[in-house]
Chains A and B, each alone.
Chain A
Amino acid sequence: MKTVRLALEAMATRFELVLHGDDAVRLRAAGEEALAEIRRLEAQLSFYDPSSQISRINARAADGPVRVAPRLFRLLQTAQQLHAATDGAFDLTVAPLMRCWGFTRGTGHLPDPEALAEARSKTGMHLVLLDEEAFTVAFARPGVLLDLGAIGKGYAVEEAAQILVEAGVERAFLHGGTSTIHALGTPLDEACWNVAIPHPDADPAAPNDDDVLVVVPLKDEALSVSAVWGKAFEADGKTYGHVLDPRSGHPVDGAVLTAVAGPSATTCDALSTALLVLGCDAGELMTSLDDSIRAMTVCSKDAEDGFEVMQTGIEVYDPGF
């Protein structure tokens, strides 16, 4: 049995792929095709590349309907369905809010109230009009921007995994930035791929065995992990993170870490973001999820109580936690 490892820098992160099988040459060929698909999707979905389809839509959809490739159209339809299913917590139109809070090009700042109101008026999936007959996208008003950052990586991982299946690969593990994963089959001599998610307090610079919060077993399944870590700033003694609630226009407060496992990396990616936005109110969504989906939300409480964990199907690894 051979093992082949491949990597790709795309979507501002590193994708890694491990394949097991009998023939290293064929495994590599399949892996290359899968990673080429991710690169192709990056060129299509990038918010920053002016020649991407998303940039085309952002530049033109306020002036009238923009025709897009059917696959991208269906992805946007899926995003709208997920938006509805998460009560608006998952939303691809938060870019004006991100700019307003200064997270697009900096570490953030408190926004001017008028500017925030203006940005909120440009936010919401209801402003994205999809015409199924013509495969077109239009914006209901100028200033709306689509940013597929909360779903693009999951979609790319899912499409790449599909290519591996079509190429006959039976055992593989693919992740984008360690946060979005698809596990194909099982590793050698194991019943499943086991993915450990570290405790929110863990120091990534000095890992140890006590850091593991949960271990998620995966077999022909995807996993997405979202966390509030990243750009943040302090003002008036309060910390503001870069994850924004599209409904309130403010940074989220509550959840620090979420994980969603299920058959579709696209759905997992979107739901893990939605759970992060919903925070302590995520319980209702978690109980309404399809049986094929497992989820966990870790919310911060006060300094003494530490964290509260809500889970459905994902078991906490350390019962003492």
Chain B
Amino acid sequence: MKRKDNDPSTLSRRNFLKRSTMASVFGLSGAVEIIPESISKQAEARPRPQATVNCAIIGFGARGRELASTLARLPEANLMAVCDNYDVMLRRSKRDVPQASTHSDYQEVLSNPDVQAVLIATPTHLHRDIALAALEAGKNVYCEAPMASTIEDARTMALAARDAENQIFQVGQVYRSNPQHRSVFQFIRSGAIGKPAMGRGQWHAKQSWRRTSPNRDRERSLNWRLDHTVSTGLIGEVGLHQLDVSFWVLGELPKAVNGFGQIRAWDDGRQVPDTIQAIIEFPSGLHMMYDATLASSFDDAYEIYFGSDSTIIFRDRGKAWMFKEVDAPLLGWEVYARKDKFYKESGIALLANATQLDAQNMDPTEDDPNVESPLWYALKEFMDNHAFGPYPPAANYERGYQAAVFAIKANEAITQNTRVEIDEALYSLD
């Protein structure tokens, strides 16, 4: 069912005018998305839309539940349906979101004309069919990342999203919508770290990544992340979110990956490595190192960008600190900024909206008490797009496709312990 012209979320004149102004902001041309402060303030000053968006979640595992609990805090979101083919998840849905109807077949959800937006949180390799059907049914789509587990699937989805120009297609690369990341992004791109030297990222946890169920068939499908025929591994299911930020911050896409994968902790018959390392080469010559493990939780997760003047670290869900070289030029404001100790280093806290907080008589050196999670901002952007768009979201189909291409090729390098080159043309949808 295609959307009717009189549908409020189609490209009306009002939407067209908004879209044409927002397009320059969000970079239709594929340029980097610098959000000028004046425009983000304008966006905040707009009256909040009154209409609610009827949403459905397909896939009610851990991520689906997180989507539901975040939607519950957005007044404009009305979660009206939940779909999962496992009855345990539907029982959880009844507990978590009692107002939502439950379904075991996603086609039921898509055929409901009242559902405007579909959020897809199924296993990665199942995204494609659902996303294509949802677009075909005229729904706006929020699809978890990675978009797909094969490049072919990701390309098919991205092209379908491109063709559905009056529909929203947002990929769950949530840091792209996070004000804190946007703020630090501007910082790095304005040259605050000096000449970029290298990047490093990690994700460490002590967990088996295995799931269980009393039903053995169900258990097999629950453990899709450990099925090497469909899983994109740690680099895809976890690292992609962190590394997507590096593509954004550095303004370039990797040209090659040297990968290494081992099973160090969970030798339980799995073939998907539980410990990985990757050295990612960018066209500019910059390298980024990334490692992830399910064997150790030491030092959690972060990304670091080393430069000749300073080093910036992202950690704790989007918080950021800057460590200046002693000979770096004085920026001025850092004298007043909050400093946090990191063993022997002193990190300058980089806070989004510090000047706004100051204007509201709030202490700009304290963490913003109104700050939300990156997922909240991503879903807020998705909801706002229904009221003011459709415009290309920060994590649009192209960014989703490019990140998926990287994840799939990097996983190939890791599982084969080799170096894989990524042809620049592969990132293009043309």
Chain A residues with a Cβ under 8 A of chain B = 25-30, 32-33, 36, 40, 44, 50-51, 53, 55-56, 59, 67-71, 135, 166-168
Q: Which stretch (B143-151, B365-373, B415-423) binds chain A?
A: B365-373
A167 and B214 contacting across the interface, CB-CB below 8 Å: yes
Since A26-B210, A26-B212, A51-B317 are in contact, a sample of 15 more A-B pairs with Cβ atoms closer than 8 Å, ordered by chain A residue number, is A25-B210, A29-B210, A32-B208, A33-B212, A44-B69, A50-B369, A51-B372, A69-B68, A69-B69, A70-B98, A71-B95, A71-B96, A135-B72, A168-B212, A168-B213
B213 and A56 contacting across the interface, CB-CB below 8 Å: no
What are 27 pairs between A and B in contact, CB < 8 Å? Answer: A25-B208, A25-B210, A27-B212, A29-B210, A29-B212, A32-B207, A32-B208, A33-B211, A36-B62, A36-B207, A50-B371, A51-B371, A55-B369, A59-B369, A67-B73, A68-B72, A68-B73, A69-B68, A69-B73, A69-B96, A70-B72, A70-B96, A71-B69, A71-B95, A166-B91, A166-B92, A168-B212
Does B75 make an interface contact (CB < 8 A)? yes
CA of A68 to CA of B219, assembled, Å: 32
Does B268 make an interface contact (CB < 8 A)? yes
Residues of chain B contacted by A50 (CB below 8 angstroms): 367-369, 371
CA of A84 to CA of B187, assembled, Å: 53
CA of A69 to CA of B99, assembled, Å: 11
A51 and B72 contacting across the interface, CB-CB below 8 Å: no
Given known A-B contacts A53-B73, A69-B68, A167 and B371 have beta carbons under 8 A apart: no
CA of A37 to CA of B369, assembled, Å: 24
Place the interface of chain B in its size category: 20 to 34
Closest to A26 in B: B212
Closest to B317 in A: A51
CA of A167 to CA of B91, assembled, Å: 13
A28 and B208 contacting across the interface, CB-CB below 8 Å: yes
CA of A30 to CA of B73, assembled, Å: 29
Closest to A55 in B: B369
Chain B residues with a Cβ under 8 A of chain A = 62, 66, 68-69, 72-75, 88, 91-92, 95-99, 207-208, 210-214, 219, 268, 317, 367-373
Residues of chain A contacted by B73 (CB below 8 angstroms): 53, 56, 67-69
Residues of chain A contacted by B317 (CB below 8 angstroms): 51
Residues of chain A contacted by B66 (CB below 8 angstroms): 40
Residue among B212, B219, B268 with max Cβ neighbours from chain A (10 Å): B212
Interface majority SS (helix, strand, loop, mixed), chain B: loop
A29 and B211 contacting across the interface, CB-CB below 8 Å: yes
B72 and A67 contacting across the interface, CB-CB below 8 Å: yes
Among the listed A68, A70, A166, A168, which residue makes an inter-chain contact with B97, where contact means beta carbons less than 8 Å apart? A70
CA of A20 to CA of B68, assembled, Å: 33
Closest to A36 in B: B62
Closest to A30 in B: B212
Closest to B87 in A: A166
Please name the 5 residue pairs, one residue from A and one from B, whose CB atoms are nearest each other, closest first: A168-B214, A29-B210, A29-B212, A69-B72, A26-B212
Residues of chain A contacted by B208 (CB below 8 angstroms): 25, 28-29, 32
Residues of chain A contacted by B367 (CB below 8 angstroms): 50
Residues of chain B contacted by A53 (CB below 8 angstroms): 73
Residues of chain B contacted by A68 (CB below 8 angstroms): 72-73
CA of A40 to CA of B62, assembled, Å: 10
> Least Cβ distance of B213 to chain A in Å?
6
CA of A168 to CA of B97, assembled, Å: 23
CA of A187 to CA of B75, assembled, Å: 47
> Least Cβ distance of B228 to chain A in Å?
17
A25 and B98 contacting across the interface, CB-CB below 8 Å: no
A67 and B75 contacting across the interface, CB-CB below 8 Å: yes
> Least Cβ distance of A156 to chain B in Å?
15
Residue among B98, B99, B207, B368 with max Cβ neighbours from chain A (10 Å): B207
CA of A137 to CA of B268, assembled, Å: 47
CA of A25 to CA of B265, assembled, Å: 12
CA of A166 to CA of B219, assembled, Å: 12
CA of A36 to CA of B88, assembled, Å: 17
Residues of chain A contacted by B68 (CB below 8 angstroms): 69
Closest to A60 in B: B370
Residues of chain A contacted by B373 (CB below 8 angstroms): 51
Residues of chain B contacted by A135 (CB below 8 angstroms): 72
> Least Cβ distance of A164 to chain B in Å?
10
> Least Cβ distance of A21 to chain B in Å?
10
CA of A28 to CA of B73, assembled, Å: 33
Residues of chain A contacted by B213 (CB below 8 angstroms): 167-168
Closest to B266 in A: A25
Residue among A32, A40, A53 with max Cβ neighbours from chain B (10 Å): A32
Residues of chain A contacted by B207 (CB below 8 angstroms): 32, 36
A70 and B99 contacting across the interface, CB-CB below 8 Å: yes
Residues of chain A contacted by B75 (CB below 8 angstroms): 67
Residues of chain B contacted by A56 (CB below 8 angstroms): 73
Closest to B206 in A: A32
Residues of chain B contacted by A168 (CB below 8 angstroms): 212-214
> Least Cβ distance of A55 to chain B in Å?
7
CA of A26 to CA of B219, assembled, Å: 9
CA of A55 to CA of B73, assembled, Å: 13
CA of A135 to CA of B75, assembled, Å: 10
> Least Cβ distance of B41 to chain A in Å?
21
Residues of chain A contacted by B95 (CB below 8 angstroms): 71
CA of A40 to CA of B75, assembled, Å: 22
CA of A135 to CA of B78, assembled, Å: 12
CA of A62 to CA of B107, assembled, Å: 43
A59 and B370 contacting across the interface, CB-CB below 8 Å: yes
Residues of chain B contacted by A36 (CB below 8 angstroms): 62, 207
Among the listed B72, B88, B368, B371, which residue makes an inter-chain contact with A166, where contact means beta carbons less than 8 Å apart? B88
CA of A50 to CA of B372, assembled, Å: 9
